[in-house]
Amino acid sequence: MKKHIYTLVAMLGVLTSCITPFDPQYDENPIIYIESFPGASPDYIDIKIMPAYSKSNTPTMPAFKPDITFKVNGKEIPVECIDTKEGCYRAHYRSQSGDKMNITVVSDGFESVCAETTIPNPFPKRRIDYRRVESGVDSYDNVLYVTISDIDAAYGYGLQVYNETIYEYPSEPEIWINKYAGNLYPIKDDFDDMVPVSLEAVDISLYGERMWAWETKSLKEVETTFSIQPRTHGYIDLSTYDSFFVQEGKRMMYDEQGNELGVIPYIDRNKLILYTMSEEFYKYRVAYEFQADYDGFVGFVAPSNYCYSNVDNGFGAFAGICIVETDWITKEFIENNR
């Protein structure tokens, strides 16, 4: 089975209020770096643990042999080494909302480090609406509206569209996967009053895949509606649900040289991936994007190495996240979620 993964970057944003200074370049002692996002994988927790040596260190560096203690709700969970060279470790544990986790790492020659986080609750109550908005003569754009409530349960939220197209080749199916955030669409008719309308979003990534993220305090109302515009368009004489929900049909396919492969049956479908973010996750990822997107560009405003860390005596992030996928989006799904 072949898989082709594409990522569409929708927009860039910066929230500098959550960024704190850290500069390992001037630290005379080596430190321990940790990066882990419990809840990002359903059945296990990946942890990256590496030594970080600053430019101010002496040429002789201590050997790094970490002793890791990982606990969930006070109970120690075994951690196995996956790749020593790359600093990859794994704990086999299925994260649950409300889990309180902490990690401690000790190694000779390094100051011991620790960090803690809590897995947030799932994405709050939501209603999903799908509309077509006229965008020209006899044409329209497909727009997905999501209304959420009970938004004070977590620090931030994120949303991603998961699109899957399966081509039924005679030899084996070929799956094309596209994960993207879409485009904020103006809720008002006044085209000059674009976005944001009801809230502001920042575009961040997790394992190279983009999502929209919102901080809770930017959701000013008890109930908030926001919208995304997937890469779909249609015509007035087509159904409102065309070009976005489950489609089945046949399509002429070509190889890389442009040769016809024949008319291949396909099915195209979509669902939403909803993210609930802990404070540590939101701040760390936003600061990371700030550094990656603006390094060397806004150095005259603030040091380009500004970042966020919740690892005591070290650097990195131990940050919980809760991920929920919806059912495949159909007309029935829309109606049942109103």
Do 33 and 53 form a contact (C-beta atoms < 8 A)?
no
* Residue-level pLDDT at 102: 97
Question: Of 165, 183, 157, 233, which is closest to residue 6 (Cα–Cα)?
Answer: 165
Say whether domain 22-119+300-320 belongs to CATH 2.60.40: yes
Confidence (pLDDT) at 288: 78
| Pairing assessment for the beta strands 260-277 and 45-52 based on DSSP bridges | unpaired
What pLDDT does 68 receive?
97
DSSP assignments along 72-95, one per residue: ETTEE---EEEETTTTEEEE----
Residue with tokens 């029935």: 332
Structure confidence at residue 8 (pLDDT): 24
| Exposure b/e, 143-153, CB count within 10 A at least 16 = b | bbebbbeebee
Domain ranges of the chain: 2-12+122-276+325-336, 22-119+300-320
Question: Which amino acid appears at position 65 of this protein?
Answer: K
Q: Is 4 exposed, middle or buried (0-12, 13-18, 19+ CB in 10 A)?
A: exposed
Burial per residue of 284-297, b for 16 or more beta-carbon CB atoms within 10 angstroms, e otherwise: bbbbbbbbeebeee
- How far apart are alpha carbons 225 and 151 in whole angstroms? 12
DSSP for 17-82 reads: GG-B---GGG-SS-EEEEEE-TTSSSS-EEEEEEEE--TTS-S-------EEEEEETTEE---EEE
Q: List pLDDT tens digits, range 207-259.
A: 778 888 888 887 777 788 777 776 655 555 555 555 566 778 888 888 888 88
- CA distance linking residue 167 with residue 144, whole number of Å: 25
> What integer pLDDT is reported at residue 104 of this predicted model?
98
Q: For residue 300, give both structure tokens.
A: 């005259």
Q: What pLDDT, on the 0 to 100 scale, is given for residue 191?
A: 38
- Give me the pLDDT at residue 304, please: 43
Q: Tokens for 336? A: 């049942």
Geometric angle at alpha carbon 278, from 272 and 281, rounded to 5°: 85
pLDDT for position 224: 81
Instruction: Pick out the chain residues at pLDDT < 70.
Output: 1-28, 54-60, 182-200, 230-245, 291-306
Rounded to 5°, angle at Cα 75 from 73 and 78: 125
